Structures are given as structure tokens and as C-alpha cells.
Structure 1
Amino acid sequence: MSKPLPEQNIRLLKLMKQALEQDLLRPSYKPLLQVRFPTRKSFQLGCDLQTGTGQLIPYSSLEKLARLTQTSGELDRWLLEQGLEALKRLHREEAESLLVIPQSATALSDPEYPRRLERQKELRELSFRGLVIAFRLSAISKDLKQANRCFSELHEMGVETMIEGFNHHPAALKILRALGSRYVSVSESLQKGEDGVVEHRIKACHRLGVRILLPEINGPDEVNLHWSAGADLLAGNYIQPPTRDIDFRFPPVII
């Protein structure tokens, strides 16, 4: 017999269910800077929720809340639907657009997930070009067999994958090799670690033909530094959507 949920968890579950059922979530698109192609439209999908008291709950908290209340599957489906519609709009504006859609361990372990994604593609009459589905390394490492199956099927469909939370642990590179993902997003601890660690990981990823995203860019000096080190994509508070008024061609830092 399962234990009753604590009162706080019940309130959180009701909040999450209400947000999903009443369509209260708002999609958010974090701009990504492709270093080699700085004017291309590139985004990472997320969402936020504004409560009745005006509090804004960001995606990082909603993702944890979904895990706590066992609604990750519903949040995955909502994000996927929003993302595919956004990708279709982006393709009308620019064929080379890139959109990263985060998904949870629930999607990763669902054997029907790739086929459901294929049906969504046919329903919306869109191309998977520029679509990247992202899974966290912590979720992947829990069941490598399931992860390998999911990644393989997505790759066969022409969908690119990203490993998020990529760290300095030796097993991370082994998992990357095994899954054949073309994108990784490094963990905050790796990005802010000792000098030379990120550069070493970038070189290791490039040897495998993998593009690397650094997600915590908060100033022009960081853009210069990581561009010089060979990073492929940058995200963070400093990165804004490309416009004619923004110039991302920073001179490289000489170390």
C-alpha cells in the first residue's frame, strides 16, 4: 500500500495538473548563439508558469515539480507539441533554424516515444531538420539500454539528440560514444571548473564530431574566451536573439 502524499506535495500536484489541463504554461525560447553561424535562428525551448499571486515559476523548477508529482510525461508532451509548432514557424522564416526541446527520463524510457514523434511530424506536415531532442545525462545513465534504443530510433528518423548536464566524469565520454549523439550541453560545474577542463572536453567532443553548448554565458568576456576555445553554441543571460543591430563577431581572446 502506497503512503499518502504530504500536504505540500498534494498542493504542488494540483498546481501542476491545473497548469497542464488549463493550458496555463507559457513557452519560453532561450536564444542560442551558433558561433560559426551567428545570424541563424537557434533556440532552446522551456516554459514558465505565473501563479495567481504573480510569482513566476521558471522551467528549471517546473521540471523538478513534474518529477516530484509524476507528471513528467504530460510536461514532455506539452513541450513537444509547442516545440514542433514553433519549429514549423521557424522553418518558414529560415530553413537552417535550430530548436532544442528538452525531454525527461519518462520519454526516454517510453518505447512508443519515437513513433509518437513520427506521428506528430506527419500530422503537422513538418520536417525534422534542425530539431534536437535533449535528455539529461543523469536520466540516460540510469538505463543505458533503453537510452541506446531511444537514441538509435531517433537518429534513424533524422532527429538529432543532445546530452545535457555533460560533465568531467570519464563515463560521460563513454556514454557519448555509445549513443552517437551529435550535441552535448555541459554542466555548470564543468563550465565553471578549473582552467583547461572545458577546453579539454571541447577537443574530446570535436574528435567525435560532436558540437558542444556552453549554457552559462553572462558577459562578452565569456563569449570571447569560449569562442576561442572552440565552443560551438553559447547560451545564457548575455546571449540575445540575433538582429541587425547586434554584432556577435567578437575578437578572440589570446591566451
Structure 2
Amino acid sequence: LGVVIGICPFAVAAGDAKAMIDAAERAQLEAAAPDGSGVVVVEASVDEGAQGAVVEAIRVALDKSSFRVVFQPIVSLHGEEEEQFQALLRLPTDGERVYAASELVPAAEGAGLIVEVDRWMLDSCLGTIAAHLRDGRNLRLFVSQSARSVRDPGLVEWMRAALESHRVPASHMSLEMRMLDAAEALPEYAAFAMAMKELGVGLTLSGLEAGAQGTAMLLNLPVDYVKLAPRYTSDADENLRSELRELVKLCHDSGRRVIAPRVEEARVAASLWASGIDLIQGNFVQQATRETNYDFQTSSG
């Protein structure tokens, strides 16, 4: 038996009760992590000023369905012509400012809104897939999910109903989970993954790194794709390239396809191809846009 303690202090104006519970729960999860000390203090962000403006913009966007989704192609290095994109959340404001997911997600998590945001994103993406299917185009979208959504007991049934409502085959969607999140709550992530696989929904594990933790994730989570940690797509020394080749082999031996994100240069893409990477994503391929009109045939030729 052991004891884990997660502490999260709050200012008087820390926000609503759900946000406080979410923050305290994150502290407990960090304390219980395999590499944790058993005691952790997490500083809760105060919902004021700039952060408060983002939260208010999110509330309005949920009410008016005014988020925007942009798409970045995920392209094969080995000739396949599948149309598949990463779906990315954006929120335009009344001015010229557009909030990116990197700003929206932390704010939504802190305000207890992330599950609603994630479901809005899923519903929008299912609508996009359905529209493409009606036009005779097969499309797969990769959609990130927060730790809170993965651990939400209602998501599986919600997803089942949404797939039926949009009349979309489940395999056209791949839900993306972060490795670090999964490591903190592996039993819950494994149960979620099995439930989604029973629906036929694809799964992607992002942020994968070599080591015991990464290997444990591959053994316990029935994912179809893995997305590498960004450090593998930077200029790397020979030791890191060797580590990458071994990691790719481990993924391939277990039947997973490997995606390299944030690829910015041709020479990096060439190095990744030599390492056995299956697919790449990043501005070298194409910046994220509102359209899904990338020419996969030309890129695979």
C-alpha cells in the first residue's frame, strides 16, 4: 500500500467548482505517476486577464458554434495515396486575432470546458468526413483528445451515437492520445482504447519516445498509429538517429504505422524516410488550411 498526495492551491477567484476539481484531479494524477515522488504541488492558473479573455471567447464559441477547423495533410513516404489530415482547432476573434489550439486547450481545461470543446471538434470533423463521403471521397481525420475526455465515461456512447447520426464508418476517424497523459492513467486509457476499438474507431498515440514507458504504452494500448515526439524530427546526432531507427522497428514489429510531425525541411524528410518512417506531417508538406484539397497523388508520385 502507498499514499499519493496531490495539492493544488487556489486563489479566491479561481473560477468555477468544476475547474477546481479538474485541477485537483490533475495534481493527484501527477502524484500517482510511475516516476512521481508521491507528493506533488500544482499551481493553478488564475482565470483573469488574458486567460479570462480566452475562456470567455471559448464560451461564446461553444454557444454560437464559431470555432474553426483547419487541416494539415499527413502524407505517406512510400507511395500510398490515402487522403488523411490532422484536424486542428482555431478560434477567430472579432479582430484579426486567431487563437490556436495551444492557447485554447489549456484555457478550456482550466475552465472545465475541455470535454465540450473536444466533442464540438469531433462532431465537426464527423460532419466533414460525411460530406466527403457523399462526394465519393474517402477521408480520414486525426483528432486530438484531452485526458479529461478520454476519462469521461460518457464519451464512448456519445461517439457511437455521433457515428450513427453522421453515417460515418468509424475507421475514418483516428482519435489521438498523448503518451504522457496515458502514462498517468494507463488502466483508464487501456479501457477507453478497447471500447473505441470495439466501435471500429482508429487510435493514435502521440509524443512517443524510446524507453520503458514508450514500450509499455505500445504493449497496453491497441493503437493503429504512433506519432513521434518532436525531438526526433529536429537536426539529430547519430545516437538519436540510431534510437529512432530502433523505435520505428519496434512500432513496425507490433503492426503500428509511424508518423513524424512538425517536419519543416526537405533534408529532414529525407532522413526520416531513411529511418523507415511511414508518414510525415508539417509545414514542409503544407501549412494547415481550411480546405482538404491537398494533391496526395502528386505527392506520392
TM-score normalised over the length of structure 2: 0.76
CA contact (8 A) 1:168 1:201 kept: yes
Correspondence for 1:112? 154
Q: Residues of 2 paired with 1:223 and 1:94: CA distance? A: 31
Question: What does the per-residue CA deviation read over 1:140-196, in whole Å, with 9 as the maximum and x for residues that have no partner?
Answer: 122111111100000111111111111233211111211121111111123335222
Whether 1:243 aligns to 2:295 is yes
> How many angstroms does 1:228 deviate by?
2.4
Residue pair 2:71, 2:88 contacting (<8 A) in 1 also:
yes
Radius of gyration: which is bigger? Answer: 2
SS in 2 for 1:202: helix
Which deviates the most, 1-10 or 144-153? 1-10
The share of aligned pairs that are identical, in percent, is: 20
Asked whether the 8 Å contact 1:40–1:242 carries over to 2, the reply is no
Query: Are the aligned partners of 1:168 and 1:190 in contact in 2 as well (CA < 8 Å)?
Result: no
**Distance in 2 of aligned mates of 1:225 and 1:119:** 43
Counterpart residue number, 1:31: 73
Aligned counterpart, 2:118 = 76
Q: Provide the C-alpha distance between the structure 2 equivalents of 1:131 and 1:48, rounded to a whole number of angstroms.
A: 19
Q: What is the aligned partner in structure 2 of residue 211 from structure 1?
A: 257
Unpaired runs of at least 5, structure 1? 250-255
Cα gap change, 1:65 to 1:37, in 2 (>3 Å): farther
Q: After the TM superposition, which residues 14-163 of structure 1 pair with which residues of structure 2 at under 5 Å, given as runs?
A: 14-93=56-135, 96-163=138-205
- Gaps of at least 5 residues in structure 2 are 1-8, 15-45, 287-292
Residues 93 and 70 from structure 1, CA distance in 2 versus in 1: closer, same or farther, beyond 3 angstroms?
same
Contact 1:12 1:69 in 2 (8 A): no
Change (3 A) 1:25 1:185: same
Distance in 2 (alpha carbons) for counterparts of 1:71 and 1:156? 27
Cα deviation for residue 68 of structure 1 reads 2.5
- 180-189 vs 16-25, greater mean Cα deviation: 16-25
| Count of residue correspondences | 249
Pair 1:197-2:243 in alignment: yes
Q: Considering only aligned residues, what root-mean-square deviation do their CA atoms show, in Å?
A: 2.2
The answer to whether the 8 Å contact 2:69/2:90 transfers is yes
Q: Is this contact kept in 1: 2:263–2:280, CA < 8 A?
A: yes
* Aligned-partner Cα distance in 1 for 2:132–2:250: 32
User: Secondary structure at 1:230's aligned position in 2?
Assistant: coil
**Residue aligned with 1:116, SS:** helix
**Are the equivalent residues in 1 in contact too, given 2:228–2:261 (CA < 8 A)?**
yes
Partner of 1:184: 226
In structure 2, do the counterparts of structure 1 residues 203 and 93 end up closer, same or farther at CA, with 3 Å as the change threshold? farther
Q: How many Å apart are 1:65 and its aligned residue?
A: 2.1
Q: Give 2:33's aligned residue.
A: none
CA deviation after TM superposition for structure 1 residue 67, in Å: 1.8
Deviation, 1:91, is 2.8
How far 1:74 sits from its partner (Å)? 1.1
Q: How many angstroms does 1:124 deviate by?
A: 1.6
